[in-house]
Structures are given as structure tokens and as C-alpha cells.
Amino acid sequence: MGMNTNGNPVLTTTVEAFEKLINWGRANAVWPFQFGLACCAIEMMATASARFDLARFGAEMMRASPRQSDLMIVAGRVSQKMGPVLRYLYDQMLEPKWVIAMGDCSSCGGVYNNYAVIQGVDKIVPVDVYVAGCPPSPDNLLYGFMKLQEKIAKDHPLRSQKVLKELKTL
């Protein structure tokens, strides 16, 4: 759905207030999808446990079913065999959904510059935040997560496509 407020100030303010509320809800209740593939998964687990605690941001409900999660943290290298599986799971997630490419291997292939590893997961799914590191330390991943929250806060979930284009050109 999308709304075109036609510049009406009262309608615009109300819609913006609602959008802020929706964005606040979505940013503070992100449920990650457990997609630890390789060594970065260990750092993801460390982020979710005692010292760094991803749960403080409301992201502790790591659901195993793609239907119930919002965020796919691709933690690790994606081999050519795993590529279609990853795309399939990404398609099964419900809108709105985001992807964090954690670590060098999922961002650009990392140390594995060969025929067996997909050189960057953004070749198969649209990535929102890239977290660099091999593996990125948990503080790094938390910083990436907070950047994602900022990105979600800038979204316009209630506007129509035409209005979004206009807002982008401003």
C-alpha cells in the first residue's frame, strides 16, 4: 500500500508520525535468522552471549524459521553449492527484510578468491549493511547492527512509489 498526501500538511504530519512509530517498532524488534555458515558464526554467537549481548537491542529472538525472522546475517563464506539455498531462504522470509553481510567472505569473497566461493553475497541477495573483518569482532557486528537500525529509521513504509521517487530527488 502507499499513500500520496498531496502536500496536505496535516495528513503529511500524521503519516510521518505513524511512519516513525512503525520504524521504531521494526528497528527495535529485529529478529535475526540464524544463518551462521563458517567462522563468522562463532563471532555471531559471541555477540549473542554474555559479554556483548545482542539481546539488549531486542534482537535475541533468533528464530530458526525464515517466516518468522526479519534479518538475515550471512555469517561466513557462501560456496557455489550453498548459493541457491541461501537465495531460497531469503525468498521465504516475509517482507520487510534486511540482510547484513558479516565478514569479508560474504562481503566480497574474502581470502577465498577462487571458483568455489561466491565472491560476495550481494551477487545473489540485496545487502543492506556490510560488516568488515575476518572475522569481525562482536563490537564490529554490533556497530553494523546499529547502522542497520539507523537505516530502518529512515524508511518510509507508508508512502506510495511516486512519492518515494520525489523524496529521493529532494
Partner 1 sequence: MGSPPILAVLAVIVAKALVVIVVLLTAFAYMTWLERRLISRFQVRIGPNRVGPFGLMQPLADGIKLFFKEDFVPAGADKVLYYLAPGLAMVTAFTAFAVIPFGPPDVQLFGVPLFQISNPNAGILFVLAVTSIGIYGIILGGWSSNSKYSLLGALRSSAQLISYELGVGLAIVGVVLLAGTLQLPEIVKEQSGFFFGFLPRWNIFVQPLGFLLLLIGATAETNRPPFDLPESEQELVAGFHTEYGGMKFAAFFVAEYVNVITASGVATTLFLGGWQGPFVDQFPILGPLWFVVKIFAFAFFFIWIRATLPRIRYDQLMDVGWKLLVPLALLNLAITSVIVLIWPSLGGGS
| Contacting residues toward partner 1, per CB under 8 A | 21-22, 24-26, 28-30, 34, 49-50, 53, 55-58, 60, 63-65, 67-68, 70, 94-96, 157
**Residue (of 85, 103, 110) closest to 44 by Cα position:** 103
CB 76 to partner 1: min, Å: 19
Q: For the CB of residue 22, give the shortest distance to partner 1 in the complex, in Å.
A: 6
Nearer to partner 1, 71 or 102 (CB): 71
What is the smallest separation between the CB atom of 120 and partner 1, expressed in angstroms? 27
Determine how many CB atoms are found less than 10 A away from the CB of residue 102.
Answer: 32
User: At its nearest, how many Å lie between partner 1 and the CB of residue 153?
Assistant: 13
Pairing relationship of beta strands 129-131 and 32-33 according to DSSP bridges:
unpaired
Strand order from edge to edge, sheet including 98-102: 32-33, 71-75, 98-102, 129-131
When the beta carbons of 61 and 111 are compared against partner 1, the nearer one is: 61
Write the DSSP string, 17-73.
HHHHHHHHHHHHT--EE--B-SHHHHHHHHHHSTTT-GGGGT----BSSGGG-SEEE
